[in-house]
Every structure is written in C-alpha cells, then in structure tokens.
Amino acid sequence: MRDSDGYALLDAGDGRRLERFGAFVLDRPAPGATSPRRDPAAWAGASARFDREQGPGPGRWSPPDRLPERWDVRVDDLVLELRPTASGQVGLFPEHRAVARWAATQAAAAAAEEGGAASVLNLFAHTGLVTLHLARAGAAVAHVDASRPAVAWARRNAALSGLDDRPVRWLVEDAARFVAREARRGRRYDGVVLDPPTYGHGPSGAPWSLAAGLAPLLAAIRPLLDGRRGFVACTSHAAGLRPADLASHVRAGLDLADDREVAVHELALDAESGARLAGGWVAFVGPAEGGKGG
C-alpha cells in the first residue's frame, strides 16, 4: 500500500503519543509525554493502539487486524516502509529527522570543501532515515546495525526512495567491533552519526549502558575521524543522562580541543494540538575552523 501524506504528531500526554503515519493514526506509549493531553477527543480516531504487556516479552496492537502488514509513507521526500512491530515501533523515529538533516548538511559542506563525496559512518543505523538523507546529499555511507532484518529494511527504504544506486555499504555488524576493525585498517571518515541504545550488550555479551559505555565508544571512534574537520552527531534517549552529561561524555570521549564546541539540542516534537513531546537529546560537533590538526 502506497501513501504520500507523511507524518504528523497530533497530540501527546498522559504517557502516550497520537501520531498519523500516512493513512493510519496510532496511539502508542511515550514516557516523555508527562503533561495532560491537549486534545482528548482526537484519540477516539486512532486506527490502532499499542500496549506493552506486563513483564518481559512483546506488546500487542489492538484491534489486531486494523493495520496492514506494511505500508509506505513519504517523509522529507523519502519513501519509507512502515510495519507494526511487537515492540510498538513502526520503523520511523520522527525525532531523528533533525539529526538526519544536520548530518546531510555537514556532509554536503565537507564534499564542497574537499571536492569529492564525503564519507560518513552511521552506527546503530536501524531502518536508515539518516543514511538516506546522507546518500541523497551525495555522501558515501557505511550503514552499520547489528540487526540483519533492520539492515534489510533500510535497503528496501533506499530502493523505495530511488537511492539504491548510491554508494552505501550495508553492514550487519556490532558497532564496537566494526569501529575497532576500521581503526586497525586505518580507515578515516568525514563524519560519524551514532544512535546508541540506553541499555544493551557488548560484543562479548557483557551488559552495556549508555552512561558507562558512551565515552569509551567515542574514544574508539576518534581515530576514524578526519582530524579537526570531522563532524559527529550522537543521540541519547536515557532518561537519567542530563544534557550536560551528554556533552561531557562526547567531549571526553572524542578528546576535543578547547575550541571545539559541543552543541546539545533536545529531540522534541511539537504536536498539532500544541503539546510537546520530549524524545531525548543530540550532541552535535561540527568541524573546527582551520582544517585538519590535533
């Protein structure tokens, strides 16, 4: 099914979000929606609602047969395949559009300065929104995600968007292992975008948390960056990690010079009702003046 109406946040509040994805309106959990709903009447028009089950395991969509197995939407002039998953996600994280646009702008600027395509590493790349923005901007992208189905999904999105001929390496890899291997190979990138999970497991299976693992991961990424011209976008969806902490982790992990600014912005969405939905934070590090250096 093809639809071109795109995305809209209709309302948010009381721990939930009401969104339109093309022809379907979805009612889903949203821990960041702590205020009361602005437009309670709008929620009666939801096509389907997702609820998490108590304890571990997947949640459920109700009514169970209201949504198709998959449908397409057009967002930022890209065509994306959406699906109702057992985690409550559909394959599009709208708050990441700001990250994608910033990264694409940085990649285009790097290409103009260097006279060739910018090379960008996209870690924890999921279904490819950032990758598609970068590819459309002319960048050569290494799209890395540990989930094979997610990488396959991203490749379908590239094909739907007419970008399957762009120079993208689609890689099913653990982010930390891939970064370490690229460093040993002496690979360099003009920019790195990463959307690490709040909790997970490292390559050895040991527990991993954003608060403890972010700075070491960024330290491993640092040798891959093209000197002082390299740009970085790093997100955080951890409720307990303050913006100042995110900036501190990024500065320490990348060992930035004093003249390199870390700009932290909220990943928030404004609803048609006037509600505002918090979605975490992103730290942007642009290229320094004066080209390469220490």
Strand order from edge to edge, sheet including 191-194: 168-172, 140-145, 119-123, 191-194, 231-236, 276-285, 263-270
What is the distance between the alpha carbons of residues 194 and 136, in angstroms, rounded to a whole number?
19
Q: To which residue do tokens 């960048």 refer?
A: 139
- pLDDT tens string 104-113: 999 999 999 8
pLDDT(2) > 80: no
Q: Containing H/E element for 111? A: helix 97-114
Residues in CB range of 126: below 8 A, 6 or more apart: 93, 145, 147, 150, 154, 195
Cα 122 to Cα 103: distance, rounded to the nearest angstrom: 10
Q: What is the DSSP string of 236-249?
A: E--TT--HHHHHHH
* Per-residue model confidence as pLDDT tens digits over 275-289: 999 999 999 999 877
Dihedral, CA atoms, 262, 275, 19, 76, nearest 10 degrees?
-40
Q: pTM for this structure?
A: 0.93
- Predicted confidence at residue 58, as pLDDT, reads 81
Is residue 40 scored above 60 in pLDDT?
yes
Instruction: Report the pLDDT value the prediction gives residue 287, as an integer from 0 to 100.
Output: 87
Domains of the chain in start order, with CATH, are 7-82 (2.60.40.1180), 94-285 (3.40.50.150)
Band the pLDDT of 3: cuts 50, 70, 90. Answer: very low
Are 123 and 195 contacting, i.e. CB atoms less than 8 angstroms apart?
Answer: yes
Residue 199: per-residue pLDDT? 84
Please name the residues in contact with 226: beta carbons below 8 A apart, sequence gap of 6 or more.
188, 189, 190, 292
pLDDT at 177: 94
Cβ within 8 Å of residue 90, ≥6 positions away: 21, 26, 82, 83, 84
Contact between 208 and 215 (Cβ < 8 Å): no
Buried b (16+ CB within 10 A) or exposed e, 212-227: ebbbebbebbbebbbe
CB 268 within 8 A of CB 243: no
The mean pLDDT of 160-188, rounded to a whole number, is 96
Q: Rounded CA gap, 10 and 259, in Å? A: 41
What is the C-alpha separation between 294 and 289, in angstroms, rounded? Answer: 12
Please give the DSSP secondary-structure letter assigned to residue 162. Answer: T
Torsion of CA 85, 176, 95, 199, to 10 degrees: 60
3-state secondary structure labels for all residues of 135-156 = HHCCCEEEEEECCHHHHHHHHH
Element spanning 177, H or E: helix 175-185
